[in-house]
Structure 1
Amino acid sequence: MTASSTSSRYREVVAALRRRIEAGELAPGERVPSTREITREWGVAMATATKALTELRHLGLVRAVPGVGTVVAERGRASSRTTTTPARGTPDDRAGASRSPAATDRTLTTERVVEAAIAVADAEGVSAVSMRRVAVDLGVATMSLYRHVRDKDDLLLRMMDAVMAASPLPAEPPPGWRARLDLVARTLWTIFRRHPWLAPTMSITRPQATPHALPYTEWVLAGLAAEGLDLQDAFTIHLTLFNYVRGTAVNLESEAEAEAASGLTNEEWMEAQQPAIDRIVAEQRLVTFARLTEEGFDFDLDALFEFGLQRLLDGCTDLVETARRRRRPRRPATP
Structure 2
Amino acid sequence: MPPVKRGTSTNRRKSADGPPYLQIANDLRARIASGRLRAGDRVPSTRQIVRSFGVALATATKALSTLRHEGLIRSVPRSGHVVVEGDRAAREPSERGGALTRERIVQVAIRLADDEGLDALSMRGVAAKLGVPTMSLYRYVEGKDALGLLMIDAVFGEHPLPGSPPRDLREALIRAARAQWALYRRHGWLAHVLPLARPVALRNVIAHAEWILRAMEAPGIDAATRLEAHMTLYSYVRGVAVNLESEREAEATTGMTEAQWNESQGAAFLAIATSGPYPSFARLLNEL
Find the aligned partners of 2:28 and 2:178 in 1 and give their Cα distance.
39
Larger displacement relative to structure 2 (15-24 or 153-162): 15-24
Matched, 1:42 2:56: no
Aligned to 2:31, what secondary structure does the other structure show? helix
Is the 8 Å Cα contact of residues 45 and 253 (structure 2) preserved in structure 1? no
- Equivalent residue runs for 1:124-143 within 5 Å: 124-143=116-135
Deviations along 1:233-253, one digit per CA (max 9) or x if unpaired, are 110000111111112222222
Matched, 1:151 2:166: no
5+ residue gaps, structure 1, are 1-6, 82-100, 298-335
Deviation of the 1:157 alpha carbon:
0.9
Partner of 2:31: 20
Note closer, same or farther for the CA distance 1:141–1:71 as it changes in structure 2 (3 Å cut): farther
Matched, 1:184 2:191: no
Matched, 1:293 2:276: no
Find the aligned partners of 1:124 and 1:132 in 2 and give their Cα distance.
14
2:33 alignment partner AA: E
Matched, 1:11 2:57: no
Partner of 2:66: 51
Identity percentage of aligned residues:
40
Find the aligned partners of 1:114 and 1:70 in 2 and give their Cα distance.
24
1:151 alignment partner AA: G
Deviation of the 1:179 alpha carbon:
2.6
Find the aligned partners of 1:282 and 1:72 in 2 and give their Cα distance.
49
Deviations along 1:19-65, one digit per CA (max 9) or x if unpaired, are 134324567xx46868xx653552443455323433x35xxxx599x
Matched, 1:249 2:226: no
Deviations along 1:153-186, one digit per CA (max 9) or x if unpaired, are 1111111111000011122222232232222111
2:148 alignment partner AA: L
TM-score, length basis structure 1: 0.65
Deviations along 1:60-90, one digit per CA (max 9) or x if unpaired, are xx599xxxx9846659x689x9xxxxxxxxx
Is the 8 Å Cα contact of residues 169 and 215 (structure 2) preserved in structure 1? yes
5+ residue gaps, structure 2, are 1-17, 51-56, 75-81
Find the aligned partners of 1:39 and 1:120 in 2 and give their Cα distance.
20
Is the 8 Å Cα contact of residues 25 and 64 (structure 2) preserved in structure 1? no
Is the 8 Å Cα contact of residues 156 and 204 (structure 2) preserved in structure 1? yes
Runs of 4+ in 1 over 6 A off after TM superposition: none
Find the aligned partners of 1:169 and 1:203 in 2 and give their Cα distance.
20
User: How many residue pairs end up in the alignment?
Assistant: 255
Aligned to 1:213, what secondary structure does the other structure show? helix
Find the aligned partners of 2:91 and 2:183 in 1 and give their Cα distance.
34
Aligned to 1:212, what secondary structure does the other structure show? helix
Note closer, same or farther for the CA distance 1:105–1:154 as it changes in structure 2 (3 Å cut): farther
Matched, 1:259 2:251: yes
TM-score, length basis structure 2: 0.75
Find the aligned partners of 1:31 and 1:118 in 2 and give their Cα distance.
21
Computing the radius of gyration from Cα coordinates, the structure with the larger value is 1
Matched, 1:160 2:160: no
Partner of 1:270: 262
- Equivalent residue runs for 1:171-250 within 5 Å: 171-250=163-242
Q: With CA pairs under 8 Å and 6+ residues apart, which has the higher RCO, 1 or 2? A: 2
Is the 8 Å Cα contact of residues 181 and 220 (structure 1) preserved in structure 2? yes
Is the 8 Å Cα contact of residues 135 and 141 (structure 1) preserved in structure 2? yes
Is the 8 Å Cα contact of residues 14 and 53 (structure 1) preserved in structure 2? no
Partner of 2:77: none
Find the aligned partners of 1:148 and 1:235 in 2 and give their Cα distance.
35
Partner of 1:96: none
Deviation of the 1:105 alpha carbon:
8.2
